[in-house]
Each structure stands twice: as C-alpha cells, then as structure tokens.
Structure 1
Amino acid sequence: MPDLNRVQLMGRLTFDPELRRIPNGTAVSELRMAVNRSWQGRDGDRREEVLYIDVTVWDRQAETCCQILRKGSLIFVEGSLKMDQWDDKTTGEKRSKVRVQADRVQFLDSRRDAGGGGGYGGGEDEYGSAPPRESRRPRQESAPDRGFDNGPSRGGGYSPSNSGGRAAVAPDQDDDIPF
C-alpha cells in the first residue's frame, strides 16, 4: 500500500508570525497554531485538549502570512509532516520534533490589526480584503510538486465559509481561546 503524508488543520495562531530569510534569500516563516480537540469522557463530561503545532511556510506565502496574520488569526493549513532531528548540545541526546511543512495557508478571518477588528464573512475573500494579485497565483516553486494542487481552491473540498457568507467558526467561540 502506498504511503500518504497529508495534513489539514484549522486553528488560531499563538503569536505574530515573523519573517526571516535563509542564506539564498528564500523567505521562511515559522508559525505556531493552537488546535482544539474535544471529546466526551467515559463519565459523560466533555473534555478538551489544546495541541500546539509548529508550521513552516516558504516563499511568497511566508511573506503574505507575515503581512496579514496576527496572534489569534484563524487559519486553515494543508501540508505534510516533517521530522527535524538534532543532537542536544548540553546533554548530547538525540532530539526530534514533528512539524507541518505548509503547502497552502488559508486566512479565515480578518484579524489584521491589534485588537481584532474586521468581521466574519462578506468582503471580497475569506480574510476581509483582496490581497495583492500576485499572491493569488499558484506558486509551484514554493513546495515540491507532489501531485497536489498548491494553488487556491477551485471548488470542492474544504471551503472556509458557507453559502451564507459566514466563517466556519462562530464568533462566540473566541472567548474560549487560551491566548
């Protein structure tokens, strides 16, 4: 059976993204998102767990994320898992960490200014205002082609807002966010 390494996550950023460049000039941004998992325990009580996931975004998509996203921004990420391994310099132990290598990041709300602002739904796109035209073009060089569409969604699959023009997550859920 062939292997499949695909991840789809929706959550909120835990800090403002920062842009850096590797020696060849390529833009990269490390995001951390909080993803909630809810279930009902054997005792009937509702339980919730928050997972903190590191996400790496490359090229123009990294630049756009840093321009638009802020702590608390709701995002949808598609990508693959990647494991980083290194030797701990203080203990000499081998360490590892799994992170998401993003192929696509969708902005699901318009929280671009400090203090929130913006609304849910409406507007020209899912995050409140139209981005520069070049960010809407599919970028094949931003991630290796693995047979998946790295460009904007063109129907079918996940959609950040329903036909009523409202975001997939109700605004009153923001009160339960730990950051």
Structure 2
Amino acid sequence: MYQHITIVGRLGRDPEMRYTPNGQAVTSFNVATDRQYTDGNGQRVKETTWFRVSVWGKQAETTNQYLKKGSMVLVDGRLTCDPKTGGPRIWKRQDGTEGASFEISANSVRFLSTRSETSAGGGELGEEAPSVPAAGEEDIPF
C-alpha cells in the first residue's frame, strides 16, 4: 500500500519547534492552499484549505530556522489520520463551531519563497508570488 500527498501553499504563522523526550526535533506549521474558480452564477469563489504539517529531524531544525509566516513551500508527505475517526482531526473553535484539519507528516519541504520575500514577510496569505519567467522562455517559438 502507498500513500502520498503534495501541497503548495503559504505558512499561516511562524513554525514552532520542540524536541521529543529522546531529543529528536519536530517542527509544526500550518499551510494554506488556495483554489479560485467561477461558479454557475458567474461569481468568483475563493476556497482555502488548511493543512497542519509536522517535520522531523534535521529538516525540522532547518524549516524552523528559515521559514516564517507567509513563506511559500512545497510539502511532500503522507496524511496522518485521527486514530478515533480515521479521517481529518475534528476540533471545536472558540465560537463553538466544529472545524477539521488535515495533518501531514512531511518527507520533504521545499522553500519556494526567495530570500527577499522571506525577509520582507512574504506578503499576505493567499497573495500570489511574483511571476518570474523561466530562463529562455522568450525563445520558445510557440
């Protein structure tokens, strides 16, 4: 059996690092992914899905050091299910409504923000990263 998930999004807050009792580093952070589409009535709809990500070992230390709120990342890993339900974790918000979060145990985290974006705060959540043309893109004949 095999399970794999890849997401690209922005951190909703600064990462938090801690150590397990045996000394292994673990860093946790939230990533928002956005999807925009036009519904049947012609209205623009923006949909945001949140993921909780856990990174272990040396990579946990690196992500904690270089990432911060607004950083864009690509996360590869596997979904971690709620042991009670087998689905996403269900929790109660402060206003009493229920929420659900998808949790990912990361195999790898790639930093997609440039150093200048990271030092400048990376922009607002959901804001698109500046478009940078690929090298030689203007040479493509079609």
State TM-score, norm by structure 2.
Answer: 0.69
Alignment of 1:70-81 (within 5 A): 70-81=68-79
- Name the structure 2 match of 1:100: 104
Asked whether 1:67 is paired with 2:73, we answer no
Using the TM superposition, give the Cα deviation of residue 37 of structure 1 relative to its aligned residue in structure 2, in angstroms: 1.5
Higher RCO (CA < 8 A, seq sep 6+): 2
Q: How many residues align?
A: 115
Using the TM superposition, give the Cα deviation of residue 114 of structure 1 relative to its aligned residue in structure 2, in angstroms: 5.4
Distance 1:112 1:54 in 2: 20
Which of the numbers 164, 167, 172 marks the counterpart of 2:135? 164
Distance 1:49 1:97 in 2: 15
Change (3 A) 1:115 1:12: closer
Using the TM superposition, give the Cα deviation of residue 38 of structure 1 relative to its aligned residue in structure 2, in angstroms: 1.7
- Name the structure 2 match of 1:21: 19
- Name the structure 2 match of 1:170: none
Distance 2:27 2:122 in 1: 22
Using the TM superposition, give the Cα deviation of residue 164 of structure 1 relative to its aligned residue in structure 2, in angstroms: 2.7
Alignment of 1:20-169 (within 5 A): 20-85=18-83, 98-109=102-113, 110=115, 111-113=117-119, 115-116=121-122, 163-164=134-135
Gapped regions of structure 2 (runs ≥ 5): 85-99, 124-128, 137-142
State TM-score, norm by structure 1.
Answer: 0.56
- SS at 1:85's partner residue? coil
- Name the structure 2 match of 1:131: none
Using the TM superposition, give the Cα deviation of residue 72 of structure 1 relative to its aligned residue in structure 2, in angstroms: 0.1
Using the TM superposition, give the Cα deviation of residue 108 of structure 1 relative to its aligned residue in structure 2, in angstroms: 0.4
Change (3 A) 1:105 1:29: same
Cα-to-partner distance string for 1:38-84 (whole Å, 9 max, x where unaligned)? 22211122211111110110001110001000100000001111113
